Structures are given as structure tokens and as C-alpha cells.
Amino acid sequence: MTQITGHTRFGGLLGSPVAHSLSPAMHNFSFEVLGIDAVYLAFDVGQEKLGQTVRVFRDLNTYGFNLTMPVKKKVMEYLDDISEAAQLIGAVNTVVNENGKLVGHNTDGVGYVACVRAHGFEPKGSEVTMFGAGGAACAAAVQLALEGAKALHLVSRRSRSWDAARDLADRISRRTSCAADLTDLEDTGSLRELIGKSSLLVNATSVGMAPHEDQSLIRDLSMLHPGLIVSDVIYNPRTTKLMRQAREAGLKSIGGLGMLLYQGAEAFRLWTGQQMPVEQVKEKFFT
């Protein structure tokens, strides 16, 4: 059990709701393992109190904090500097307090790439097909582009998310060396062609999330070709229908828990300058 001292620094998670978050357990366990005199708490904060809370975190010399919905975009108004990735994504999930200067980062994309890399996927020079244009899709897509992906094929329905997906593809193409494009989910011929050229297929939508475990955006298993790696950002259930389809086709599949773990590890590194004991955290909280 962490002992609070007169030197203990604190940080935490801001957003609403936050009571369900695994982050306090992950970070406090890591502080204890490494002997760091710090604690991580969860604070239920909505947009109306965010500015006031951020000022308190700055003034009390915290090490920093995480953000979750619905304040990952709003917090950018109160920061002194924002990383390139967070600017491209348009959201911040981690803030580092550098002696009163608040610097915003987005570790979701770093966490995603670390997760797929741990399973043998290397972004540099690759082509990727990705379903979705929400927060998880933005973070993963931007980081894949920043780490050298050659082409990123975004796939979305022609609905409210279409404009967001088009904007994301445009931002990536203009501001990175990755060529990004957008395809209608219902255009099955183009979808088959794009997946056929890709070495990674990503579901970054909520399709397949509990309680709708019987859903998948892949309706024809023949689209899944040998050598393709299939990744789902969903972690409830741990094995989605898309992942089962991949395994039935003899392909490697990756679930969403790793993204959660590695994004936390990157935030921990930014705050402490030390590596989170990832294997111990994984064994304690993710098995």
C-alpha cells in the first residue's frame, strides 16, 4: 500500500464518468513497484468545471493528469503547448505539468501502435485499412501515419461520421507522408480491393462491442487474405466477432486491451521519465 508523505505528488484522471476506470489501479501499482512517491486519483469533472480544475492541477504542482470523455477536446483551451500528434488528432488525453507549463499529449495512438507492434506488425511502409473515424480511429490513424505507414484507407458509412472521416483523411495526407483516402463501407468491391492491399485491418468503431457481440463489419470472410493481421480496439468482449472471423480464416487477431495498457504506459513515461512495469501490470490487471 502506497504511503502518503509530505513529498507525495498527485495526479489523476479528469472526465465523467470515471469511477469505472482501471487507470488508478494501473498507475498506483506501478508507482509502488518502482518506489515512486506519487498517487493517481479519479476526479469526476464535466466540461463546466474543467477550466477551474485544470488551474488547480497547475497551481498545486501536480505531475499531470489524464483526460477521458467528454473533456479530451475542451481541455486544449487551457494548455500552454500541444504535441504534434495531439494537434493532428484534435484531442488530448494526457497532460504533463512542467513546472507550471501544461503540455498536452495524446497517448492513445502511441498505445495502439505499441500494441500491434508487440504482435509483430511494423507500420513503416505498410498499407492499413481502418473502419471508423471517432476518437480511437483518429488516434490510431494519426500515429500509424507518423510512424511511417505508406497508405491509410479509411472506411466509413455515409452518415454523420462521413465528414469527420473525410477531414481526418485530408489532415493526414496534408501533414504527414502517408497517403490517406476514404471509402464508403457499402462499396464492397473497393473494400475488398483495399483489404487485399493491406497488411493490417483495424476495427476502430463500436460495432461488436457488448452487448452486441454478434456484430461485425466483415460480411464476407473471403476478404480476409493470408498474411493479414486483424485488430479490434474493442476490449469488451475480449474476443469480438471480427477477431473470431480472423481466427477462423487462420489469421492473427489482436484485441483492444493492449491499447489501453500501452497508452497508460506512455502517459506514465511522460510523467515520471521511467518505464511502467508493463509485464507486471499486464499479469495483475489484464489476465
- CATH number of the CATH domain containing 59: 3.40.50.10860
Active-site residue among 49, 72, 74, 150? 72
- State the pTM of this model: 0.94
In whole angstroms, give the CA distance from residue 228 to residue 198.
7
Q: Assess whether 134 and 228 both reside in one domain.
A: yes
- Is the domain of 182 the same as that of 139? yes
**For residue 79, is it within any domain?**
yes
* 237 prior amide bond cis, ω within 30: yes
Domain contains 2: no
Q: Is the residue at 250 inside a domain?
A: yes
| Closest C-alpha to 242, from 212, 222, 217, 211 | 217
Same domain, yes or no: 96 and 153: no
- For the chain, what is the domain count? 2
CATH number for 143: 3.40.50.720
Q: H/E element holding 145?
A: helix 135-146
State which amino acid sits at residue 111: G
Cell of 73: 477536446
At residue 3, the pLDDT reads 83
Amino acid, res. 76: M
172: three-class secondary structure by DSSP: helix
Is residue 149 domain-resident?
Answer: yes
Q: Give 19's Cβ-side CA count (13 Å radius).
A: 0
The set of residues, in sequence order, having a beta carbon less than 8 Å from that of 37 and lying 6+ positions away, is 5, 7, 8, 9, 31
Quick check: is 3 in a domain?
no
Question: Can you tell me the distance from the alpha carbon of 170 to that of 181, in angstroms, rounded to the nearest whole number?
Answer: 8
Q: Whose CA is closest to 137, among 46, 217, 193, 206?
A: 206
User: What is residue 222's predicted lDDT score, i.e. its pLDDT?
Assistant: 96
* pLDDT computed for residue 287 by the predictor: 82
pLDDT for 1 equals: 55
What is the mean pLDDT for each group of 10 consecutive residues in the chain (287 residues)? 86 96 96 97 97 96 96 97 96 97 98 97 98 94 98 94 94 97 97 98 97 96 97 96 97 96 98 98 93
Q: How many CB atoms lie within 10 A of CB 162?
A: 15
Domain, as residue range, for 82: 9-106+264-285
Our answer to whether residue 241 is catalytic in this structure is no
> Distance between CA atoms of 107 and 120, rounded to whole angstroms?
20
- pLDDT value at residue 2: 64
Rounded CA separation 157/110 (Å): 26
Answer yes or no: is 4 within a domain: no
